[in-house]
A and B are shown apart, each in its own frame.
Chain A
Amino acid sequence: MFLPPFLLWGLAGAVLAGISLGLLSVFVTQMKLSSLSFTMSHAAFAGAALGMLINLDDLVFAMAFALIVAAVLGPLADKAKLHVDVVIGALFPLTIALAFLFISFNADALKGGGMLSLIWGSILALTPFKVVLLAVLSIVLGVVVFLFYKEFSALLMNRKLAEYSGIKTWIFYDSILFLTGAAVALSLRLLGGVLIFVLMVTPAAIASQFSYDLKKIMIVAPAVGAIFCLIGFYASYIIDWPVGCTIAIISTLFFLISVFISPKRRKKFSG
């Protein structure tokens, strides 16, 4: 409303990022992919830092790094062949180390330029092209989930049971990993490599405080994500804090409130 016109693209991008990551957060939490997506977002962070260091497109590198992690860790997480947490624990320092290394190699970083905003996000980071891509991604995601809601809900409930019922679950599982990688890479510059993770868990965590109905959770979580990004974006503009930080703080605040007022928890206390 009171934003200068050059920020309107960024605002639209923020809302789209909130919608797509919010919807994906339902999958991430229900399919126990939070450690996987945690590693994925930091790999994208390292990829973007590398892209910026060598003056090539950060988006392509972020996407490539995120998808490599998905391709390598996806099957492991899926078959539970080795403790995923162990792999994540080993990979997380590596991805962060690489990201910081690429940032430190970059002379611009010392001048406080674009590189540091890679860590905590920037309302100026989204180009119109990326916003259009985010819009395409949000639409594709929405359509895919709508068309195959039956299969996705079975996958979310229990992958083994879905497989027993005759669904070829790998197609749906892999497409979620792919879409998550794409959403992370596209919203990385806006939200920041370290803080993007908050939107991959919190919206679904809040939505599921209020319902046992997956359909409702899938509608509420993207709405919640969009609202957080909208408020966070304005707050960042007004008080001039990094946008990744404002969104993370708002999300966590609302999560705490939702846990406190959740009807599920109230029932538990009264027995």
Chain B
Amino acid sequence: MIIELDNVTTLYDGANVPTITNINLKVKRGDFIGVIGPNAVGKTTLLETINGVLKASRGTVKVFGKDASIDGSEIRKKVGYLPQDVSFDEESPFLVRDVVLMGRYGAMGILKSPKQCDYELVFNALSRIGIMHLADRPVGKLSGGELQKVMFARTVAKTPKVMLLDEPFNNLDMGAREELVEILSKIHKDMNLTTLMIIHEIDYLSKINVCNRVVLMRNGTIAEDTTPTKILKSKTLVESFRRDH
């Protein structure tokens, strides 16, 4: 198992009810899991518990066999996490190429400076996602969609073993979404990845056929862990999801 959550409960500091409760999840190498659920159900919390940014209050989280509450930063070196909202000051003194390169900094390790191959991975990622023309633009001056693609390039350039994508289609129009889905499924296969992707709208599931598994969340728990076809066939599930929305 690449990722293993055993009875995991996560509470934010100062909160008195847990945000996610008793989560059990086993993820095999090569899985592409769609995580679906209404707003505030705990999807982002789940991803951040997996990469160890948030410590599980109960239960254990293991990624690559390491305990996320102890070896969080070691785990994060091999996890490409695309967060939900990122923003930069308009005057931020960083160019797009810097931002993409910096995704690799943790994995490169202390006292090592970027090498030729690091720069090549950056430009490969930029060209794969079709944003080579943005390389020398200040990151604070991008549109929402452009920034979303830059953050995705950052995730890819890191050459992770696991990808955690939090609503990657945010800020993208229909055309760009379809393009991204293609790139995503290709990258997932080419790079031998294990991917968890949060999707906000259930209807979107039918349009993308990249997931081999779907996890449906409700009230901080996993309500269903099944395949996309089963979910879409079950009218009651789709309807109940729409009601929650």
Interface residues of A (CB under 8 A from B): 30, 79, 81, 147-148, 150-151, 153-154, 157-158, 160-168, 208, 211-214, 217, 264
Are B94 and A164 closer than 8 Å at their CB atoms?
Answer: no
Residues of B in contact with A, size category: 35 or more
Residues on B with C-beta less than 8 A from A151 are 105, 110
Which B185-242 residues have a C-beta within 8 angstroms of A?
none
Please, how many angstroms separate the alpha-carbon atoms of A264 and B90 in the complex?
Answer: 11
Q: A153-B102, A158-B86, A160-B83 are in contact. Are A165 and B107 (CB under 8 A)?
A: yes
- Between A and B, 24 residue pairs with Cβ closer than 8 Å are A30-B93, A79-B13, A147-B111, A153-B102, A157-B88, A157-B92, A157-B102, A161-B83, A163-B53, A163-B73, A163-B76, A164-B51, A164-B53, A164-B76, A164-B106, A165-B102, A165-B158, A166-B76, A166-B107, A167-B73, A208-B91, A213-B93, A214-B98, A217-B93
- The CA of A229 and the CA of B98, in the complex, are separated in Å by 33
Which residues of B are interface residues toward A (Cβ below 8 A)? 13-14, 51, 53, 73-78, 81, 83, 86, 88, 91-95, 98-99, 102-108, 110-114, 138, 158
- Contact between B73 and A161, CB atoms less than 8 A apart: no
Q: Which residues from B are CB-within-8-Å of A148?
A: 110-111
Query: How far, in whole Å, are A161 and B98 apart by their CA atoms in the complex?
Result: 13
Residue of A nearest to B139 (CB): A157
Q: Complex formed: what's the CA distance from A160 to B77 in Å?
A: 14
Closest to A213 in B: B93
Q: Is the CB of B88 within 8 A of A158?
A: yes
Set of chain B residues within 8 Å of A217, measured between Cβ atoms: 93
CB atoms of A166 and B73 under 8 A apart: yes
Question: A154-B102, A165-B104, A168-B73 known; A212 and B95 CB under 8 Å?
Answer: yes
A154 in contact with B105 (CB, 8 Å): yes
Question: In the complex where A81-B13, A212-B93, A217-B93 touch, is A150 in contact with B83 (Cβ < 8 A)?
Answer: no
Residue in B13, B14, B98, B106 whose CB lies within 8 Å of A157: B98
Closest to A171 in B: B110
Q: From B107, which residue of chain A is reached at the shortest CB distance?
A: A166
Note all chain B residues with C-beta closer than 8 A to A164. Answer: 51, 53, 76, 81, 83, 106
A79, A81, A163: most-surrounded residue (chain B CB, <10 A):
A163
Q: Does A165 contact B103, Cβ atoms closer than 8 Å?
A: yes
Q: If the complex has contacts A154-B105, A164-B53, A166-B106, are A211 and B93 also in contact, measured as CB distance less than 8 A?
A: yes
Which residues of A are found within 8 Å of B138, using beta-carbon distances?
212
Interface contact A150-B93, CB-CB below 8 Å: no
Q: A150-B113, A160-B83 are in contact. Are A167 and B106 (CB under 8 A)?
A: yes
> Closest CB-CB distance, B55 to chain A, in whole Å?
13
Question: Which residues in B have their C-beta under 8 angstroms from that of A157?
Answer: 88, 92, 94, 98-99, 102
Closest B residue to A149 by beta carbon equals B113
Contacts of A81 in B (CB 8 A): 13-14
**Complex Cα–Cα for A160 and B108 (A):** 18
Q: How far is the CA of A212 from the CA of B95 in the complex (A)?
A: 7
Task: Give the distance to chain A from B122, nearest Cβ to Cβ, in Å.
Answer: 13
With A160-B83, A161-B86, A212-B138 in contact, do A150 and B95 touch (Cβ < 8 Å)?
Answer: no
| A167 interface neighbour in B91, B105, B111, B114, Cβ under 8 Å | B105
Give the distance in Å from the alpha carbon of A217 to the alpha carbon of B98 in the complex: 15
Separation of A160 and B86 alpha carbons in the complex (Å): 9
Task: Using CB atoms, name the residue of chain A closest to B78.
Answer: A166
> With the chains together, A164 CA to B164 CA distance in Å?
11
B93 touches A208 (CB 8 A): yes
* Bound CA–CA A36/B75 (angstroms): 32
Q: How far is the CA of A148 from the CA of B77 in the complex (A)?
A: 17
Q: How far is the CB of B159 from chain A (nearest CB, A)?
A: 12
Residue of A nearest to B89 (CB): A30
Q: A81-B13, A161-B86, A164-B51 are in contact. Are A212 and B94 (CB under 8 A)?
A: yes
Contacts of B98 in A (CB 8 A): 153, 157, 214
Q: Within 8 Å CB of A264, what residues of B? A: 91
B102: which of A160, A161, A211 is its contact (CB, 8 Å)?
A161
Nearest chain A residue, comparing its CB with the CB of B138: A212
| Closest residue on chain A to residue B158 by CB atoms | A165
Q: Which residues of A contact B99 (CB under 8 A)?
A: 157
10 nearest A-B residue pairs (beta carbon): A166-B106, A166-B77, A165-B106, A166-B76, A167-B106, A214-B93, A164-B81, A212-B138, A212-B93, A154-B105
Of chain B, the residue at the smallest CB distance from A148 is B110
